[in-house]
Structure 1
Amino acid sequence: MLQKILRYDIQITKKFVENAQRVTALRSLANHSKFLELSCHGIVWLAGWLTFIWLFNNSELYQLQVNMLIGLILDIIVIAVTKAFVRRRRPIPMNKMIPGNPDKYSFPSGHASRAVLIAFILMVVDPISIIFYPPLVAWVTSVAISRVLAERHYFLDIFGGIGIGILEGLLMSILWLSQSSSTSILNSLSDEKRDGGEFHV
């Protein structure tokens, strides 16, 4: 049964990629797949978030900064372990011009899980202004679909990544550190005292 489902997944994904060239919006999305890939890459987000923490010394941001960092690290670990366990091979690109994949394994999609986790935190756990919801949802959707169009993943990989991202978001809502705990962690990691500290520089 599992082999049959996987075969159907491969066939449906291949047919979707072939037909996407006839739809202007999907063809445009495919052309921007490399940018979307970088916009949700694990290393880019981890390095970017650490930079954000370092540059913006604002007590109102401490809780989000620390918890999002924990969530990003959790996502990288969960995806790496799951891929190593499942070991499903990535699609063989029909377009030979597409550069090689960063790793061999396909299930689940780390980009999909990471995008959903970030959106879950920013919309459910620690909500931002509602005016940012539409572009955030559009980004998550574009990242997920572009992974299929770029022939990096099958549809089941994307759905698996989305499911894992939701579960990670729910877990982070349970483990969410308080403002005081977040401040203590940042203070312990920083060489300089934060604003309000006894020896603030």
Structure 2
Amino acid sequence: MPGVQARCRARDRNNVLNRPEFLSLNQPPRREQMPGEGRGSSGPRRATFRQQSQQEDSGLRGSRDSSEGGSAADGGVKEASRWPEQDCMQLNPSFRGIAINSLLAIDISLSKRMGVCVRPHGSGAPLRSMVTLLALSGHALPWLCGTLICLWRSNTLAGQEVLVNLLLALILDLMTVAGMQKLVKRRGPWDFPPGILDYIAMDTYSFPAAHASRAVMVSRFLLNHLVLAVPLRILLYLWAFLVGVSRMLLGKHHLSDVGCGFALGFLHFSLVESVWLDSATCQTIISIGTLHWPILV
């Protein structure tokens, strides 16, 4: 054991910290003295004041940073709330949007497949002329001209009453469908430029199908005001349906366009029947149209 003690003394003697100039490092820190306790009290006071000032500066800096962070967060919230909802990226679309997009995709796909008479040398090329003629039978120009000719040649008050209401129904259908097409501006499944007859009838867009609407309205009107046999009534219904289908075969309208056109034709017929003009009003309109003023006196 004496050898171990001797080695410890030698190690302590060789330790640099045991030298006189480094003895202050081995002593424990003295307690803080009050202002009147001696000459060496200014050093601890100065260190304490420096620590307090540093703490106050760090506190002020932290409060400033927190206030700036809070104001930045408030500004970010206000700026985020200022942006409209449609400008944000919707990672989770609604079920309604998914359903509508799916139905539109199915509508376009089916309409493309039904346009068999679009290409002159396609599978429906032999039926192209017949389908074009069938679609022409639902055009507005033949029906307007035919109604005016029949009204000019009619001699009975009942016939003139029916023809005047039919003429007004055709004008109502033409203007309503043209207005809706200008509002929606939907192109057909095959983007073909409109023809001359389409420009005359203001049928330049796809939705809704003007031919389908006119065919349904005219067929319902004739079935309600003409006495026809059962085969003719069936043929009239079949004609209205085939007119709408012919427009899809020619690639002019979508399936949804024709369906909405059928519904719009029923609506126009119901509207004309609800505001039916009597014989006296029809005669007044005829006299104004033919400039035969003595009948108004």
Q: TM-score range by the shorter chain?
A: 0.7 to 0.9
8 Å Cα contact 2:194/2:204 also seen in 1: no
2:141 is aligned to 43
1:107 partner letter: F
Query: What TM-score does the superposition give when structure 1 sets the normalisation length?
Result: 0.81
How many Å separate the matches in 1 of 2:116 and 2:250? Answer: 11
Q: CA RMSD in A?
A: 2.9
Q: Does 1:159 find its partner at 2:252? A: no
8 Å Cα contact 1:108/1:161 also seen in 2: yes
Cα displacement string for residues 70-90 of structure 1 (whole angstroms, at most 9, x for unaligned residues): 000000100011001111111
Cα displacement string for residues 125-154 of structure 1 (whole angstroms, at most 9, x for unaligned residues): x24323431221121111111111111111
Shift of residue 17, structure 1, vs aligned partner:
3.6
Deviates more, 1:161-170 or 1:100-109: 100-109
**1:90 pairs with 185, 188, 209, which one?**
188
How many Å separate the matches in 2 of 1:18 and 1:120? Answer: 29
The structure with more radius of gyration: 2
Q: Does 1:10 find its partner at 2:10? A: no
2:160 is aligned to 62
The DSSP-based 3-state class of the residue aligned with 1:88 is coil
8 Å Cα contact 1:30/1:146 also seen in 2: no
Gaps of 5+ in 2: 1-96, 118-123
2:228 is aligned to 129
- Percent of residue pairs bearing the same amino acid type: 30
1:178 is aligned to 278
CA spacing shift, 1:184–1:100, aligned 2, 3 Å: closer
Q: Does 1:53 find its partner at 2:151? A: yes
How many Å separate the matches in 2 of 1:46 and 1:134? Answer: 24
1:109 is aligned to 209
CA spacing shift, 1:175–1:29, aligned 2, 3 Å: farther
Q: What is the total number of aligned residue pairs between the two structures?
A: 187
CA spacing shift, 1:57–1:29, aligned 2, 3 Å: farther
Gaps of 5+ in 1: 20-25
Query: What TM-score does the superposition give when structure 2 sets the normalisation length?
Result: 0.56
8 Å Cα contact 1:53/1:65 also seen in 2: yes
2:247 is aligned to 147
Q: Which has the higher contact order (CA 8 A, sep 6+)?
A: 1
1:73 is aligned to 171
2:251 partner letter: E
1:7 partner letter: A
2:261 partner letter: G
Deviates more, 1:149-158 or 1:178-187: 178-187
Cα displacement string for residues 17-42 of structure 1 (whole angstroms, at most 9, x for unaligned residues): 459xxxxxx88764412111221111
1:22 is aligned to none
